[in-house]
Structure 1
Amino acid sequence: MACNKLYIASLNSGSNGNCYYVGNDDEAILIDAGISCRETEKRMLRLGLSMTKVKAIFISHEHTDHIKGLCTLSAKYNLPVYITPGTLAGCRFLLRKDLIRTLHSNLPVMVGDLVVTGFPKLHDAAEPHSFMISCGGTNVGVFTDIGAACEQLIHHFKRCHAAFLETNYDDALLAKSAYPYFLKRRISGGQGHLSNQQALEVFTAHRPSFMSHLLLAHLSKDNNCPELVHKLFTEHSNGTEIIVASRYEETAVYAISEPVAVHSF
């Protein structure tokens, strides 16, 4: 019987490492493995999540903060790794060949009752992908490391009961930061990261009425402020719970489900 509830958590979110958990009562996946195997285990244990439920790892792109724990974690638990050929070629290590699964754009992957669909995104990597995870009628999106909101992102965002959405930088903080000009251009140039304002525009223009949770992800340590972005989104939340995913610790686990339709007679 198909599930109708998903459990989600950010194990870490930021340039120091990214790892997101999405699962149901029986199986789960990780999106990215950018923190160490040991730290992944510790954080899941604190949350009461079991590694035995994790059945696969999906990789968004080859930047170190998304893959540095991948080899050890996948080998220790014999977890298949879904990864595009371009992303795999860009990794500076060798994954066990028996664990590699080719990720194809817009082709759903079944992991038990979970349906995971990767789709291309705008980022300065080889073949970067965002992800939609569905179970029954419940949908969760993982949308980080995005230079701009493309049509596919907007299409999937409109279907989400919950989402991880990048809010990497505040425009004013980035402008006056000590970052060199080329790095500022890389971040804000359309192939880098989403600003608070860009993400807010996605949220306010395309938030479905049934979205219960929004996790703000991949905040810059130097060019953003958790309190600032939480306040900004809360002012426009319209009933959606706003959570800032930390670069230092895991979030709580959130239960996401499709709202029950109310019929009047």
Structure 2
Amino acid sequence: MSLFVASLNSGSNGNCYYVGNEHEAVLVDVGISCRETEARMARLGLSMRKVKAIFISHEHSDHISGVTVLAKKYQIPVYITGLTLLHGGLRLDEDLAIEFIAEQVVQIGDLTITPFLKLHDAAHPHSFTVACCGIKVGVFTDLGAVCENLVQHFQQCHAAFLEANYDEEMLERGKYPYHLKRRIRSGKGHLSNKQALQLFMDYRPAYMSHLFLSHLSKDNNCPELVQNLFNTHSRGTKIVVASRYQESAIYHISGLGAPVFAPLVSLQTSLF
């Protein structure tokens, strides 16, 4: 069995990532509106009926702004920590809010989701891996630094969404005020292109077929720049830059150790 992944949006204007198999799927974060989530999934031919759970990484608005409406409309359980729920001010139906604990796996059909703590300036931030039949995909964004948790999970992934938020020179020369630059560069801010590349070069497993560069800054990064940077060191891994303006294609993660892309006719089902 394979996993199918797509970025529905990636950036400070909203984050939402789809990971699933032929029968069920999960969303990691819903930082775009319910309507936009539906529209983007419809354009990809993905069915909302397959989404069995939503996992929330932390309470910042670009990760939670659409979750309440989407969860209520489709009665999708939301896995979220108590601190994230509190600090996010989310009004989820009580029966839809389910607390998770770091490193304790959650089973959604054949999907195994593992949350783990990360470094970010939020109340209780987590990243996730989603696994099925030996295939593992990571969703690693909003990272202040490369920590042991991140390294441990990254080096097990057949594919990963990895933050490459800013180019160091562009941030330094840019218009952001000093306090914001300091926050971004802090150990609980965001990961630079250089930091993300170092993680990839040092800990990329030989079987990693896809790397999705995610959460790029609009003002302090350039998709072409980071694409070229990682292509130089890709060693057979397909490098994809996730857009802040539109959904990606659907990618098939087969676990065979070679880049695979397919339009996935088998998933061309009705949204409703």
TM-score, normalization: structure 2? 0.94
Tell me whether 1:107 sits opposite 2:104 in the alignment: yes
Gaps of 5+ in 2: 258-272
1:14-29 to 2 correspondences below 5 Å: 14-29=11-26
What is the aligned partner in structure 2 of residue 127 from structure 1? 124
Asked if 1:203 is matched to 2:200, the reply is: yes
SS of the residue corresponding to residue 165 of structure 1 reads strand
What are the superposed Cα offsets for residues 121-143 of structure 1, whole Å, 9 maximum, x if unpaired? 00000000000000010000000
Match of 1:263 in 2: none
> Residue 133 of structure 2: which of 124, 133, 136 is its match?
136
Identity in percent:
63
Deviations 1:38-95 (A, max 9, x none): 0000000111110000000000000000000010000000000000111011112311
Q: Which residue of 2 aligns with 1:223?
A: 220
**Aligned: 1:243 with 2:262:** no
1:257 Cα shift? 1.6
Cα distance in 1 between the residues matched to 2:80 and 2:133: 24
Match for residue 233 of structure 1? Answer: 230
Alignment RMSD (CA, Å): 0.7
- The equivalent position to 2:147 in structure 1, one of 150, 155, 159, is 150
* Distance (whole Å) between structure 2 residues aligned to residue 11 and residue 157 of structure 1: 21
Please give the residue correspondences for 1:1-265 in structure 2 after superposition, counting only pairs within 5 Å. Answer: 4-259=1-256
> For the residues of structure 1 that align with 2:133 and 2:124, how far apart are their CA atoms?
28
- Residue by residue over 1:182-216, the C-alpha shift from the partner in whole angstroms, topping out at 9 and shown as x without a partner, is 10010001100000000000000000000000000
Q: Is the partner of 2:3 in helix, strand or coil?
A: strand
Count of residues in Structure 1 that have an aligned counterpart in Structure 2: 257
Q: Does structure 1 conserve the Cα–Cα contact (< 8 Å) formed by 2:209 and 2:255?
A: no
Q: Deviations over 1:141-182 (max 9, x none)?
A: 000000001101101111100000000000000001110101
CA distance in 1, matches of 2:247, 2:256: 26
Q: Is the 8 A contact 2:160 2:211 kept in 1?
A: yes
Structure 1 residue runs of 4 or more that deviate by more than 3 Å after TM superposition: none
Once residues 24 and 71 of structure 2 are traced to their aligned partners in structure 1, the CA distance between those partners, rounded to angstroms, is: 16
TM-score using structure 1 length: 0.96
